[in-house]
Structure 1
């Protein structure tokens, strides 16, 4: 009898942001791909609907007080959302945290630390000598076997805080200092470095019990460290006229200065722990400290792991294999995540998603293949198969043909972006999308990718260390595994040169990395584009504002603004820190998300408050700012680069890396500078719908017609077809 099929995820009457989904069922246990142009609602569906609801399954298992706190999270506006299993969101665009490494990004951090703690043994942090730890009876047996009939003195280091009388009261009679032994009753004070003698013995099987008991006493009084002095002609120390050699016995990891090392636990090797801590440097595997161990690559480390190690080692071996499967086997595990290329960082995040312990969950992947090579598509599909074979449901957002054709269910949202999108145009097997009228995706899936024309290599080069070829007044595309690194190196060289003068034929350089525009929660799209000041001036110039004494500063979101909401401080949201979960963010109850005080919101321009103006999309802002050339031109540029659905008051830090990059491009497009500009863009078409990529090609054409040169990395087929030259790197 076959196992019952899990009911689908049911979405009915969903109204979240631009989404307007009447009815949609997502099958459990398979791969669903959500496609659509930029701004059509793909991320909203994954993050604000499916992920938000999936989190509630976890919240239901928490304590009542925790549930009351988390219930402040806003529910998605929908008639019905049911059948959603607990969800995890794999977000490859999440910037790395401070101190995060490749191992952390790939989900290896905890298993790496656990395996190291399981394998590590204590060493002297200064000399690197192993600190053997044993029991008193075992140490006695080893000594008798190694040196039968040898004379020995069992001692432990004296505590400088205790007197000779104290040790006499504990039953001891003699001490050892310098080159002689002495009687405790004759000592007024103990010399520095003195040792208390517990017993004098002859190593023999008959005396094994006595030796073991004396060693146990020495270890107990010596804080885990004792010395057995053995008489031998080769001994390094003279005591009472004879040569003696020390044999140190430890029943716990204790250093010569008496410092007792804590147990080797994973926390000892966490990024938050002091790197200079003695214990962190004392524990080693094959003579290597933690910091040296993680300098190894996955390939090197895997060959040296013991085949019969503890379970943590087997788990690490499997995790290293997953990392190798994503082409990262030769990278140092301790490499700072911030130093990774965007493509390698994304590969590491996808390697983390391949954890076989993930079972029975809803796994959400937003733009997983953005900026990756064609070979990564096959790796990703293998990841999806392993996840679904493990009983998981996978929903991925993206419009790559490889991804769309592999889906069990393909969902296309659209037809446009923002208010013009958010509707389900198609939901079914990929092979049936061609029968749907109005689908923007169908023509691209039916047709083969455009051919890449054969072009001669550019003869003009830039004055960087690599003499990078490029086409003046054209689009040069860098492709290959090292394309992003070359682009960053080129940006560094160009920035250093233009600080003092020109860079080749260019008087200015724009570098657009796939990185957040800002970390400020109050910086908006209008702020970044440089026309928020004009909006403030526009509202401050109204008769009502002048009557009430409101100047431009009242319409600002900056710290000194007297007009912003005092509770949320102009962000429109309030955040509650959570210890073991992402911070809880909700709409500000004071201003309702409008960011300003009521008296400021009462001022109107063309029927809109300043909150209403900031809620205009870039496309809507173009006619609104008639008579205002600067904001009108910049809003039009945002629309032209495919971000017409983005509101001008949207927090800049909430934009995706790709959206932020196109916003930088729009700023250059609107500037209309006379100086020739070198525009460097990191994977600008990564993750774009083919229609968006074609639009981006049109933007590049406008820029090059105006005398600028564009050098971009990436392998999007539409961009490759539009490029004037292609340079392979690596």
Structure 2
């Protein structure tokens, strides 16, 4: 047995629990109950801590300050391996090959066994290294070139009227403007009337003259000359694009450059030497473009006539077999990971673990069913059983009750979330759990209620000739005023159709609220009904921020109203303090040590950075003077420490704040603290915060017809929380708005007015509408989702 004693990480209440080794243990509980704190923070955290004890004392001291499982002790703990949930596929250059690590072996094959590998090493076959990348496009396959048309889109304007749109903003742009003025260039004539020689010099010269600038200042400003160095517009854009670390600045720069396939490598990303080498009759980019199933067949047929071939093929073929077995045979090694569905990413990571061959470890899996269609989830249980058969233990943090029901042992954490959770409600055999708890009710009541009275549409939004990735010439209609679930196996094209194509089209024609990046590479030949849509709201699981400065209170906007209350107190008025004094982002009020973050970032060169509580303000964020002001007995730091549920009682008489808090409660977030920072929030919590914020705004205004787009909003949610979220989404449809949800959860699909199912398979086998029906109609059809609904109806 694994015996955990006095676990008190986060909201865990000094719990003791015993877990059997060599069995499948499901850890359950409502969202925020503490189950991840137990499985990952405590059990896996202690496993990590023990491993790190083997490193040098100095490094161990640094690591132990960042990794603290906060547990009295754990007996019988084997080494742990964690596979945590992630909706992110990595950076811009991340691919299926890099996520799965198969690209490393493939590159070694080409460098050791290829037909002409002399002088080339594995890095020579990577577009991400200086040795392998095409020198003219830096391994991207695309060249970005500034042209006169891209830098000066409206030649009828003069320079003074803003003709050079590509110039940087603020002081830097004014600097370039003033240098041209000092050089005597015509700034008042239309750009098109300037001589070609002058236009070319301004845009493309490599000359860098230094000019004394006499800036025009206001009467109350300091009049001071300075030496300004000229840089042509093209030179500025090229240098900025090459060197900036800011995604925002990089995106702005790209708007003023023309992009086309690199003529040197033809879009193949590699240098000419690497592209000459072949293995199995293919160059490495050609092999990378094949479906994994074809790569497996090809490599299985290759001779193992030397040691290198034998070793490398023995390494890569099992990885390919695992990927194909998990239904990923349609993917290619060069497929950007950002284009993968969450389910494909999950299975790709599971495939990597399957071939690890570890024995005697405890695998801690974080909701491996996330992003998977119900029919695909049988593969998850197969993997868990294979881990067990290999002599390992499995801890499964899971919300899917169909999977939980197949576990050997259950640990239920609760009873509720946040401070109302953190207790062990049950630890024992799965069949013996019969208490009256949210998990027990969900476990023993899995029958679906199919929507018996679907809403009628009051209009249609029609797309014709949709093309994007696996979707080819698709025609599709969406009912306005309905709740539509878009279903299908992972990789079938659901997110591509809804979150990329439809959302992108709506963003171009309606007022948009979205934190999703614009994506290119899609087209729609014709469309109808867009004029009926005033707004599109796209809500994703992206974080509400990346540092503790972004909190629940600030993101929702309710903190503005709170600060006004503090600024209106007699004590604040006497000191002549305004609302800004009560912002932890303003120097006057913030703690000088942590700058108002409440935490200090601990940077380790060899580990991801982490945060520790500020030693001076102890997490309060403010300096002592600011904390002297109280409102109804609370300091501003006290307010941030309140949970949403507690704050609802405190601010019951303050309508703007009370309404915002009530909306957060309605989506099941009453357990979160108002000052909870973004790094502490899960993707599911972030998505619900965004939804609550938007619900509050929508109820306070009349903005015309809105289309709400959500992509797998139930990820990370307990069935009890899903019921709350689903009810709120249906209220939007009840109000006449349109709700489109890409979803695998059967209870959400069963409640929809209409289900669009894509498929029948993934990749090239998907991209089509295979069913357009009500849930009741779909349950009578032989499709993946239809069969899943029928099995639970």
TM range (shorter): 0.7 to 0.9
Classify 1:535/1:122 alpha carbon distance in 2 versus 1 (closer, same or farther; 3 Å): farther
CA distance in 2, matches of 1:336, 1:543: 58
Give the aligned partner of residue 688 of structure 2: 662
Give the aligned partner of residue 518 of structure 1: 545
Q: Report how far residue 62 of structure 1 moved.
A: 0.3
Q: Report how far residue 114 of structure 1 moved.
A: 3.6
Give the aligned partner of residue 334 of structure 2: 334
Tell me whether 77-86 or 371-380 shows the greater mean CA deviation.
77-86
Give the aligned partner of residue 287 of structure 2: 293
Classify 1:458/1:653 alpha carbon distance in 2 versus 1 (closer, same or farther; 3 Å): farther
Give the aligned partner of residue 185 of structure 1: none
Give the aligned partner of residue 668 of structure 2: 642
Give the aligned partner of residue 81 of structure 2: 88
Contact 1:118 / 1:310 at 8 angstroms: preserved in 2?
Answer: no
Tell me whether 461-470 or 356-365 shows the greater mean CA deviation.
461-470
Contact 1:564 / 1:570 at 8 angstroms: preserved in 2?
Answer: yes
* SS class of match (1:569): coil
Classify 1:454/1:623 alpha carbon distance in 2 versus 1 (closer, same or farther; 3 Å): closer
CA distance in 1, matches of 2:325, 2:113: 25
CA distance in 1, matches of 2:542, 2:380: 23
Q: Report how far residue 84 of structure 1 moved.
A: 2.8
Counterpart of 1:484 (choices 489, 495, 500) is: 495
Give the aligned partner of residue 709 of structure 2: 680
Classify 1:349/1:452 alpha carbon distance in 2 versus 1 (closer, same or farther; 3 Å): farther
CA distance in 2, matches of 1:664, 1:703: 15
1:264 aligns with 2:117: no
Give the aligned partner of residue 425 of structure 2: 425
Q: Report how far residue 284 of structure 1 moved.
A: 4.2
Which TM-score applies when normalising by structure 2?
0.69
Q: Report how far residue 281 of structure 1 moved.
A: 4.6
Contact 1:479 / 1:713 at 8 angstroms: preserved in 2?
Answer: yes
CA distance in 2, matches of 1:74, 1:583: 11
Please give the per-residue CA displacement for 1:579-633, whole angstroms capped at 9, x wherever unaligned.
4433343223233222232333333223322222112222222222234322221
1:568 aligns with 2:594: yes
Contact 1:369 / 1:687 at 8 angstroms: preserved in 2?
Answer: no
Q: Report how far residue 107 of structure 1 moved.
A: 4.2
Classify 1:642/1:115 alpha carbon distance in 2 versus 1 (closer, same or farther; 3 Å): farther
Contact 1:399 / 1:689 at 8 angstroms: preserved in 2?
Answer: yes
Give the aligned partner of residue 312 of structure 2: 312
Classify 1:362/1:587 alpha carbon distance in 2 versus 1 (closer, same or farther; 3 Å): farther
CA distance in 2, matches of 1:569, 1:96: 32
CA distance in 2, matches of 1:439, 1:354: 34
1:100 aligns with 2:94: yes
* SS class of match (1:515): coil
Give the aligned partner of residue 122 of structure 1: 116
CA distance in 2, matches of 1:96, 1:33: 26
Classify 1:714/1:572 alpha carbon distance in 2 versus 1 (closer, same or farther; 3 Å): same
1:353 aligns with 2:341: no
Give the aligned partner of residue 482 of structure 2: 474
Please give the per-residue CA displacement for 1:523-554, whole angstroms capped at 9, x wherever unaligned.
11122212222233333333333444543333
CA distance in 2, matches of 1:629, 1:454: 37
Give the aligned partner of residue 439 of structure 1: 437
Counterpart of 1:706 (choices 723, 735, 740) is: 735
Contact 2:413 / 2:426 at 8 angstroms: preserved in 1?
Answer: yes
Tell me whether 505-514 or 99-108 shows the greater mean CA deviation.
99-108
Give the aligned partner of residue 412 of structure 1: 412
Classify 1:721/1:353 alpha carbon distance in 2 versus 1 (closer, same or farther; 3 Å): same
Give the aligned partner of residue 626 of structure 2: 600
Give the aligned partner of residue 151 of structure 1: none
What's the C-alpha RMSD, in Å, of the aligned pairs?
A: 2.7
- Structure 2: gaps (5+ residues): 136-270, 465-473, 513-527, 760-793
CA distance in 2, matches of 1:411, 1:725: 37
Please give the per-residue CA displacement for 1:339-382, whole angstroms capped at 9, x wherever unaligned.
21222222222222323333333322222212311122211111
Contact 1:449 / 1:717 at 8 angstroms: preserved in 2?
Answer: no
Counterpart of 2:719 (choices 690, 694, 712) is: 690
Which TM-score applies when normalising by structure 1?
0.74
* SS class of match (2:532): coil
Contact 1:516 / 1:660 at 8 angstroms: preserved in 2?
Answer: yes
CA distance in 2, matches of 1:46, 1:267: 42
Give the aligned partner of residue 143 of structure 1: none
Counterpart of 1:40 (choices 33, 36, 39) is: 33
* SS class of match (2:555): helix
Contact 1:89 / 1:365 at 8 angstroms: preserved in 2?
Answer: yes
CA distance in 2, matches of 1:314, 1:445: 42
* SS class of match (1:396): strand
Counterpart of 1:493 (choices 482, 493, 505) is: 505
Classify 1:310/1:490 alpha carbon distance in 2 versus 1 (closer, same or farther; 3 Å): same
CA distance in 1, matches of 2:330, 2:718: 33
Contact 1:54 / 1:362 at 8 angstroms: preserved in 2?
Answer: no
Give the aligned partner of residue 716 of structure 1: 745
1:375 aligns with 2:375: yes
Contact 2:503 / 2:709 at 8 angstroms: preserved in 1?
Answer: yes
- Structure 1: gaps (5+ residues): 1-7, 124-252, 254-260
Contact 1:73 / 1:584 at 8 angstroms: preserved in 2?
Answer: yes
